[in-house]
Structure 1
Amino acid sequence: MTPATDDPPPASRPRPVLPPGLRLPAAAGLLVFAVAVGTTQIALQATNREADRQLQQLGRVYLDGLAASVRTGLEAGDPDYVAGRFGRAFGEQHGVAERALFAFDPAGRLLARHGDPLLPEPDRALLEREGWRMDPVGGVAWAARSVEGASGSAGRIVAALDIGPILAARERLSWTIIVMDLLLAALFALLAWFVLHRLGRPLRLLVRELSEGASRPPARLPDALINAVDPRTAHVLGAYNRMADGVRERERLAAELADREQAAALGQLAANVAHEVRNPLAGLATAVSTLRRFGDRPGEREEALAFLERGINALERIVSRTLSLYRPEQDHPLTRADLDDLRHLARPAAERQGVTLAFGLDLPEGHLGTGAGGVRQVLLNLLLNACAATPRGGVVGLQARIVEGDLLCEITDEGPGLDPAAAERLSGGGAPPETGSRRLGLGVVVGLLGDLDARASVAARPGGGTAIRLVIPLDRSRAA
């Protein structure tokens, strides 16, 4: 059975992919990567648009020179003259190469053409206005211009420019920029992650210590770490260290005070018992001496035995009276806070043994019923015994809830198991086990259970260890 905790995480809450200390560096790295890639893509699109505009300007400049060369032929309607000028233009290809040249008369009829015969004629929409159109698939840029003569429009010329090499070079450049951009963006994203991860290390340690404070005492952060951070962060970490020191000192003082109170109580109990028992023991010793010396005389023997019997009865009354003094007659009602206090009372022993306490208290607020003193004493003794029996790194658990008017408590440990004689005694049968501990033993726990009208059962856990189950009536009159 797994011990319950006070505040289990909600089952519906999704578990984060990254721990809290890595979320900020990861988010910053992704942001740097996205910004770097996005800005580069925007710049690349702007560059491509500017390159298209400059290419269009280049086509217009080319047509300006070609228009001056063929104007005379267009005005005269001479196709041979125009074709000859087109041929000379093809012979001077040192920049952007032409795929084909077209000349149209003012009516829109083809007058002359030169170049690639497989290239189709340009569409009439391009002829109706001065225009520019790019065909990236075919690698052709269509440039059109009207030619003005002395008496008006002399015709129109259209050039099919070969821009395939330019587009191929631009594509290679774009891919080079994209690859370099991705590499640089990833590099700077990793750099941002590394820097923030390093800067956030003190806060990650602080968050980890605070989050684990419910299962163990807070631990001090290294002084070297505090000295290596900025003053504001150092102030926060120093405040945490002072808090951790205060908690540890308070727990140490509480444990020391508890030990002193226990030692004082044991000392007072021993002194009272010794004082009350000394006189009856002297008389018993005298009776024993009489029996040794005059045991063969019936009268002396009977008188000595009667004295021994009276002395033993006196000792029994002294012991009963002493126990009644250390059992409080008046007690306040039991509350959930009384069981919460057990966590703090058992924590010093748990820390010394290196075990973890896991409490699951499903109890309402307010008075629960029966007196708190006996219940607290029983549970505290069983928790201390469980801590002593559990190996280092194990878990000692306490679960409590109310079932049909009874307080149901279960103490679990991961030890080697309770001795059979002790388990039988705790369950209600058998003699009390022998013990050499100065603490209140199992016999006292059994006596307190009897005063509370409680029932106990002991069972071995499947994974190892012991589970002690207590049923304590909250209404003593109902139990009677």
Structure 2
Amino acid sequence: MISWLAPEFRLPVIAGLIVFVAAVATTQIALWIGNRVGDRQMESVGQVYLDGLVANVGGLLTEGDLEEVERRFARAFVEQLGIREKVLLVLDDKGDILLRVGDLSYLSDMALAVPAGGTRVDEAAGIAWVARSASNVPGIRLVAALDVSQTLDARRRLRLGVVLIDLLIAALCGVAAYVALHRLARPINRLMLHLSSAEGQPETIPDAAIAQADPRSAALLVAYNRMAESVREREALAAQLAEREQAAALGRLTATIAHEVRNPLGGMATSVSTLKRFGEDATVRREAIGLLERGIETIDSIVTSTLNLFRPEEERRLSREDFEDLRHLVRPAAVKGGVTLDWRIDLPGEVSLGAVAVRQVLLNLLLNACAATPPNGTVTLEARIDGTSLICTVSDEGSGLEPDNSQHLSGLTSGPASKRLGLDVIVGLLGSLDGSASVKSDSETGTTIRVMIPLESAA
């Protein structure tokens, strides 16, 4: 019913309505009880009146002297103090009228139907019909029509006044309840607004708003501000760590590329020196030129692989060539550490995944594996399609991954990882791919990291 109201107004409005309805309902119940009490009092007054009347004419009724009874009834109409009669009747056991005195225009079926000891009120006429049996004359019943119009009018005026005052007081109480509850709930509403609308870094609540809150709510808002500041500090620290890790990873890659380029450059420099000294010999010249061509091809392959990694074409799909590029990029680190590379690629021509993020994840893992593997060890890369996911496994023969780093890479913890490994970069890239990693590490057999990335067509 009030769903169209803003959430911060719903509870105060409901509370105000409850107070209003409760105040009106209790007043109406009190009025109903008061009316019932008034009816019983009216009935008692009528019976007392008839008691006096029976005491006055009871003997005459026993003697059957209805004329004297009529005269005494007529005298009662003359002496009207307090209770005013309109009609007096004497009925037999069959309900027939034996005697009637007064204004007969008030006579109605209600007069004949009222039982002995009972009361019937005709509010339209302002008449209360009361009846009593004559105890000393069996079957005889006295009925009186008493004028209660003033009492009924006073009751109506009282009811109207009470209802109006009740509505006014109930409305004031409802408004007061709304204002009080809305004021008390204002800090909570502000807190809920900050919690529900926070995107990225949470915003703190202004000090002016905290100063307006009650002590307990103010303490809650202060605690929220401390939490928000802590979150912002952690996010800033995480961003700094990620930047440092990316810079470290880029530095390692730069060193790897420099080492890879230096090898063919050394051979090319030797070829140039040979040409200068023995260029007249056709055989020497042919061998030197061949060495220069192979060196240029090697450098071109390295440059192409690097450009594909950091400046890829838009929406380029992952392919087997990307894994060959990874072999070229990792080979210098492997050669430097005396590590053998074992590539086991079982993929179709293209995979429905963007190449850039996948290459960056695998490059970081492979460089870490080469660094962890002792000389004469082997680093293995396996890649295959399993259902709707790309499964890549990187294995080394090192001393195992530290438990904290293993849990961080698997997504079991969010604490800081080793800066050397660049694990935050890997975890962030896997998150962007909706991928996951599992780690199996042993100090004797090495570490195996299994990466699962859902294909875009199945996402």
1:258 counterpart residue number: 242
Q: Contact between 1:71 and 1:154, CA under 8 Å: does it hold in 2?
A: no
Q: 1:44 aligns with which of 31, 51, 54?
A: 31
Q: Distance in 2 between the 1:253 and 1:65 partners?
A: 101
How far is the alpha carbon of 1:381 from its aligned partner? 6.2
- Structure 2 portions without partners, runs of 5+: 306-326, 335-340, 344-356, 358-388, 396-422, 437-451
- Structure 1 portions without partners, runs of 5+: 1-14, 332-341, 343-367, 385-397, 411-468, 472-480
Query: Does 2:211 align with 1:190?
Result: no
1:226-245 CA deviation, whole Å, 9 max, x = no partner?
A: 33333333333333322222
Q: Distance in 2 between the 1:259 and 1:148 partners?
A: 111
Q: Contact between 1:145 and 1:158, CA under 8 Å: does it hold in 2?
A: yes
1:234 counterpart residue number: 218
Compute the TM-score of the two structures, normalised by the length of structure 2: 0.56
2:251 counterpart residue number: 267
Q: Distance in 2 between the 1:267 and 1:186 partners?
A: 74
2:299 counterpart residue number: 315
CA RMSD of aligned residues (A): 5.2
1:31 counterpart residue number: 18
Structure 2 letter corresponding to 1:219:
E
How far is the alpha carbon of 1:218 from its aligned partner? 3.4
1:95-148 CA deviation, whole Å, 9 max, x = no partner?
A: 554331124689987553212324147767757x44433344654312234568
- Residues 380/36 of structure 1: CA separation in 2 closer, same or farther (3 Å cut): same
- Residues 169-208 of structure 1 aligned to structure 2 (within 5 Å): 169-208=154-193
For the residue of structure 1 that corresponds to 2:104, the secondary structure is: coil
Query: Does 2:104 align with 1:117?
Result: yes
How far is the alpha carbon of 1:82 from its aligned partner? 3.1
Structure 1 letter corresponding to 2:34:
T
- Residues 108-187 of structure 1 aligned to structure 2 (within 5 Å): 110-118=97-105, 119-120=107-108, 129-136=116-123, 139-145=126-132, 157-187=142-172
The one of the two structures with greater contact order (alpha-carbon pairs below 8 A, sep at least 6) is: 1
How far is the alpha carbon of 1:52 from its aligned partner? 1.2
- Residues 295-310 of structure 1 aligned to structure 2 (within 5 Å): 308-310=292-294
Q: 2:41 aligns with which of 44, 49, 54?
A: 54
Q: Distance in 1 between the 2:96 and 2:295 partners?
A: 146
Q: Distance in 1 between the 2:69 and 2:109 partners?
A: 17
Q: 2:76 aligns with which of 76, 89, 94?
A: 89
Structure 2 letter corresponding to 1:134:
V
Q: Distance in 1 between the 2:273 and 2:178 partners?
A: 91
Query: Does 2:330 align with 1:324?
Result: yes
Structure 2 letter corresponding to 1:371:
C
Query: Does 2:207 align with 1:223?
Result: yes
2:308 counterpart residue number: none
- Residues 372/183 of structure 1: CA separation in 2 closer, same or farther (3 Å cut): farther
Q: Distance in 2 between the 1:75 and 1:140 partners?
A: 29
2:455 counterpart residue number: 409
For the residue of structure 1 that corresponds to 2:203, the secondary structure is: coil
Q: Contact between 2:390 and 2:455, CA under 8 Å: does it hold in 1?
A: no
How many residue pairs get matched? 340
2:231 counterpart residue number: 247
- Residues 265/212 of structure 1: CA separation in 2 closer, same or farther (3 Å cut): same
Q: Contact between 2:131 and 2:142, CA under 8 Å: does it hold in 1?
A: yes
Structure 1 letter corresponding to 2:251:
G
- Residues 181/399 of structure 1: CA separation in 2 closer, same or farther (3 Å cut): farther
How far is the alpha carbon of 1:43 from its aligned partner? 0.8
1:353-410 CA deviation, whole Å, 9 max, x = no partner?
A: xxxxxxxxxxxxxxx8722789x989966987xxxxxxxxxxxxx7789xxxx96433
1:63 counterpart residue number: 50
- Residues 439-478 of structure 1 aligned to structure 2 (within 5 Å): 469=457
Q: Distance in 2 between the 1:164 and 1:20 partners?
A: 53
Q: Contact between 2:391 and 2:453, CA under 8 Å: does it hold in 1?
A: no
Query: Does 2:358 align with 1:371?
Result: no
- Residues 73/254 of structure 1: CA separation in 2 closer, same or farther (3 Å cut): same
Q: Contact between 2:256 and 2:330, CA under 8 Å: does it hold in 1?
A: no
Q: Distance in 1 between the 2:332 and 2:427 partners?
A: 18
